[in-house]
Amino acid sequence: HRTENVDFYLSLLKDIDFNQPMDTEEYRKLFPTVKAGNHHIAEAQSSAAPKDKSRGRLWFEKLTGIENAESEVSTVLHATVDGKEFIAIVPDTQNKRFPRVRNGEVGLMEGFTVAKIVNQVIEEDQGKEQKRPIICIVDVPSQAYGYKEELIGINVALASSAAAYAKARQAGHPVVDFIPGDAVSGGFLAHGLQSNRMIALGDDSITIQAMSKASAARITLRTIEELEEATKHVPAMAYDVFNYTKLGALYKRIDSIKSWDASDKNVARIQKEIDAAIESTKGQPTDLSYRYANEIAIKEGRVATLKMRKAVENQWNN
């Protein structure tokens, strides 16, 4: 599967000179010449230089204790702290090679790098009885939209990340999202949506949805204003974390902490909530059934989903 060729694509991205224009013919010539190297993504380290602010970066640094965290891939931070692997995607407003990810979007380097990190964790913990929990700190406005991304394969990059998270979950790694910021579109699909449990802050500023408003408006043949009106009546179409809760997808929503309020007290609270979420996965299925098997989902958010799943099951068995 192409999603398993992460080292190849990281080598490809390293070899390409993005200062020069490239069309499809030139890319076809380059592709077969690339030799896959063995890439190791080092953990984030503290630095003296201030970094671009984001809610994802703020909470990563507070939860890991790494100040002004920096990495060889400027937009991806990861570190193992207290036996847990933390991963965040952050903005880099000075990104020259990939300007489409300057605001924290998930692009080519982000997708393949996260996949490499998660695959490293799976490989290192293979055979161990206790698998390392993976904590996704989610603050992603969308996937990256650009010519480079489409030419090289943004679909493969995001699929590689999503597949790695799913593989980790199925291998017994508790995968827990902490959502202090936006979780939107392909960015959320690649970084967060494959988790066992999702914890979100109950903050009005947080947008959470698997499709951007502009895209949803086009597909449903509505204006954005008409779409926003429709979301008041259909939680599955909504973009706020409060309506998202009604679907049953969240493990927990924490209303007492705002997205930028990472005080020592609040960080300690989130650490406890993450630990509780990890504990809740023990002895439980490694699939995503929690999202439609909890009380909120059964009584409200996934009623039609459950009926449809039952109907399909009956037809399949008959």
Q: Give, in order, the Cα–Cα distances in Å from 315 to each of 298, 304, 311, 318.
A: 21, 17, 6, 5
Residue 82: which of 275, 218, 243, 316 has the closest Cα? Answer: 275
State residue 256's pLDDT score. 96
Q: Is the pLDDT of residue 88 over 80?
A: yes
- 199-256 pLDDT, tens per residue? 999 999 999 987 878 888 898 899 999 988 888 778 778 889 998 998 899 999 999 9
Over residues 8-13, the mean pLDDT reads: 96
DSSP result, 240-255: BHHHHHTTT--SEEET
Q: What is the pLDDT of residues 119-142, one digit of tens each?
A: 999 999 999 999 999 999 999 999
- Say yes or no to pLDDT of 55 above 90: yes
Half-sphere exposure in the Cβ direction for 266 (13 Å, CA): 15
CATH number assigned to the domain covering 2-287: 3.90.226.10
Is 90 exceeded by the pLDDT of residue 17? no
Q: Name the band, by pLDDT with cuts 50, 70 and 90, for residue 19.
A: confident
Q: For the chain, what percentages of helix, strand and coil (3-state, to nearest 5) are there?
A: 45, 15, 40
| pLDDT tens profile 306-315 | 999 999 999 9
> What pTM, to 2 d.p., does this model score?
0.94
Edge-to-edge order in the sheet of strand 252-254: 76-81, 84-89, 134-137, 175-179, 197-201, 252-254
- Residue 54 backbone phi and psi in degrees, to 5: -160, 160
Domain boundaries, the chain: 2-287, 288-318
Does residue 192 surpass a pLDDT of 90? yes
How far is Cα of residue 98 from the mean position of the Cα atoms in its chain?
19
Give the DSSP per-residue string, 9-56: HHHHHHH--TTS---HHHHHHHGGG--------PPPB--SS-----HH
Q: Please name which of 165, 240, 46 lies closest in space to residue 57, comparing C-alpha atoms.
A: 46
